[in-house]
Structure 1
C-alpha cells in the first residue's frame, strides 16, 4: 500500500487538518500550552513526569522480586532534584506525599542532580492501593488527568500534571496492593 499525498512535497500546512477545524490540532506545527505546566504553576508546584520504568513493562512485574531492588521505603520511587528536596526538607529514602486536586500518593525519595530542578518523576505502572484517598503504593495515575492528547488523536496526554510534595511524617500505612483477595467458600 502506498501513502498518497496531494503534493510530492513535505506538507508544512495541511488542508485536511484545516477542514477539521480542531482548535487543539491546528493545520500547521505549533506549540500549544497544556492546561497544567510550569508556566501556570505556583511557586510550590512541581512538574510531574510519568516516565516508563526500566524495571518493568507498565504495570507488569510490579510485584516481582525485582521490586525489592528499586522500591524506596517499600514504595514507588520519586526522583527529586537536590535543591527541591532541600527546599521541602526531604532526604534520600524519606517517604514523600505527592498530591494535587485529583489525588495523593505515597512515594520514596531518590534525591539527585540527575533531574531538572522544578521537576519530579514517578514511573507509571505502580498498582493502585487506595486507602482513605491516599494511594499507598504510589500510582502516578492518581495524579494525572484522564484527557486525550487532542480531538484528532486519542493518545494519552502524559507529563501534564502539576503536583505538590512534602515529607511524610505519619506512620507508613501497610501496603495491601499485593495481598491475595479473601476467598469465600
Structure 2
C-alpha cells in the first residue's frame, strides 16, 4: 500500500532472496540465513539499492567503505565474535557458521540471567535511573510542567471518547485491531489473496452479539461508524467477549477515500488522533462500530 503513494519504487528482496545473519536481542541462538532463491523480477538487496543511490550522489565509496554485502556480513560478524570473546564466549568463524547454519550461545540459565534495573536495585544512589530524579517517578514534575490537559504528571483514568461505558454507545461494539496471524502487518497480503482468493478480512464476533444482529458465521458484514465503513467476514466465536469485535490490521486499502473498504481495512474506522499531546501514539483501540449484515 505504501508503494501506491510513491513516485519511485525500488523493489527489494525478501529474506529468502538474500544472504544474512539473524539474532534477536537476548536470543540464545544466532542463525545464518542463506539465500534460497535468486531475486525475482527487478528486486535487489536493500544494501545494493542504497549503495546505488549513494553512487548516484557521488558518495558510493563513503557509503560502502569498499565492502559488498558479504564483506559487510563478514565484518559485522567479526566484530560480534570479538565482543563475544570479551564476554568469555567462543564463536565459530564466519565460514563455519555458514556451514552449520546456526550456533547456540551459552547465555541461558540462572548464571547468565539479566535482571532489569539490577544495578539500581542494588544501589540506587550509585546507579540512578535515566529520569530527572534518578528514581522511579510516579509523579513527573517535567510532564506536569507541560500543562497538557490530556496528559497530567501522574497516572490517571481519563474516559476515552469512544468506549463501551459511553452513555451514547447504543448498539455499537468496541473494535480492537490486533496484528494478523497470517501476515506481517500488510506484507504478503497479495500473496495470501492469490492462495485464498480475494475476500474480506475476518472479524471475530461473540455469538450473543451475532444473534442480536442477525449475523451468521461466514457471512459478509458491514462495519460502520461516522468515519467510514468496511466489509468483513464474520467469524462467530466464544473466543471474544460480548460487546467486542476484533478485526486484524493488514488488509490493503482499496477504493477512493470515503469509499467502503471491501478488503476489511480497520483504518477507515479508527480515529486519526494521537493518544495525547505528549505521546502522539496510536489510539486505534478506542473505536466503536456498528456491525450489520451486508446487503
The question of a shared fold, defined as TM-score above 0.5 by the shorter chain, is answered with yes
Q: How does 1:1-185 map to 2 (within 5 A)?
A: 3-40=129-166, 41-65=168-192, 68=195, 74-130=199-255, 133-169=259-295
Output the CA distance in 2 between the equivalents of 1:85 and 1:127: 26
Output the CA distance in 2 between the equivalents of 1:166 and 1:64: 29
| Cα separation, partners in 2 of 1:6 and 1:143, compared to 1, 3 Å | closer
Output the CA distance in 1 between the equivalents of 2:294 and 2:246: 17
Output the CA distance in 2 between the equivalents of 1:6 and 1:65: 49
Measure how far apart 1:88 and its partner are.
0.4
- Contact 1:50–1:123 (Cα < 8 Å) also in 2: yes
Output the CA distance in 2 between the equivalents of 1:67 and 1:149: 37
| More strand, by proportion | 1
Normalised by the size of structure 2, how large is the TM-score? 0.53
Measure how far apart 1:9 and its partner are.
3.1
Measure how far apart 1:154 and its partner are.
1.8
Output the CA distance in 2 between the equivalents of 1:107 and 1:145: 19
Measure how far apart 1:63 and its partner are.
1.3
Output the CA distance in 1 between the equivalents of 2:141 and 2:253: 44
Measure how far apart 1:96 and its partner are.
0.3
Output the CA distance in 2 between the equivalents of 1:66 and 1:168: 21
RMSD of aligned alpha carbons: 2.0
Is the partner of 1:149 in helix, strand or coil?
coil
- Contact 2:129–2:136 (Cα < 8 Å) also in 1: no
Measure how far apart 1:65 and its partner are.
3.3
- Contact 2:193–2:199 (Cα < 8 Å) also in 1: no
Output the CA distance in 1 between the equivalents of 2:263 and 2:176: 17
Q: How many residue pairs were aligned? A: 166
What 5-or-longer segments of structure 2 have no aligned partner?
1-127
Measure how far apart 1:130 and its partner are.
2.4
What 5-or-longer segments of structure 1 have no aligned partner?
170-185
| More helix, by proportion | 2
- Contact 2:252–2:263 (Cα < 8 Å) also in 1: yes
Bigger shift: 7-16 or 31-40?
7-16
Output the CA distance in 2 between the equivalents of 1:84 and 1:67: 32
| Cα separation, partners in 2 of 1:8 and 1:97, compared to 1, 3 Å | same
- Contact 1:55–1:66 (Cα < 8 Å) also in 2: no
